[in-house]
Amino acid sequence: MQDIKQLTRELGAALHLSPEYVRFVSAREANEADEALNEKMQALELVRMQYRHEAAKEDAADAGLMEAYNSRFEALYGEIMDNSNMMEYREANDALNALLQWMTGLLQGCAQGEDPGIYEPEQAGCGGKCSSCNGCGE
């Protein structure tokens, strides 16, 4: 029998050929090439830093300025999330994560004695306990 580590490497190579992975890479590259999106992401990070800098002043922090930063952050975040490249990236990322969760679930089932030829892992869902999750990022 082949070495389990070699088989895992082959599985990783097969993953790179999957439609989910190919879609994810394409979406990531489109995001990286989208200059307007990247400018907004840089602006968002700048607003985040400005907000944190002001918040660090504690009692001396200017509440009006912090509200302005917060409003600007929310506006930029909305524009970023509404960008078609970002929407495709999020969908592609979700599809890849679903495949990875299925793969992990199958391996975990097999480690508990399930038959790999017939076992179907449960569909991932939010159980409300983020400490046991590797998924949604919420």
In this predicted structure, what is the pLDDT of residue 109?
95
Domain boundaries, the chain: 4-132
Find the DSSP H helices in 34-125.
Answer: 35-55, 63-82, 84-111
pLDDT tens for each residue of the chain, 138 residues long: 679 999 999 999 999 999 999 999 999 999 999 999 999 999 999 999 999 999 999 889 999 999 999 999 999 999 999 999 999 999 999 999 999 999 999 999 999 999 999 999 987 565 555 555 555 555
For residues 82 and 91, give the distance between their C-alpha atoms in angstroms, rounded to a whole number.
12
The fold for domain 4-132 equals YheA-like fold (1.20.1500)
Q: What is the pTM of this model?
A: 0.79
Triad 26, 29, 34: Cα angle to 5°? 125
In this predicted structure, what is the pLDDT of residue 77?
97
Q: What sign has the CA pseudo-torsion 51, 47, 29, 90?
A: positive
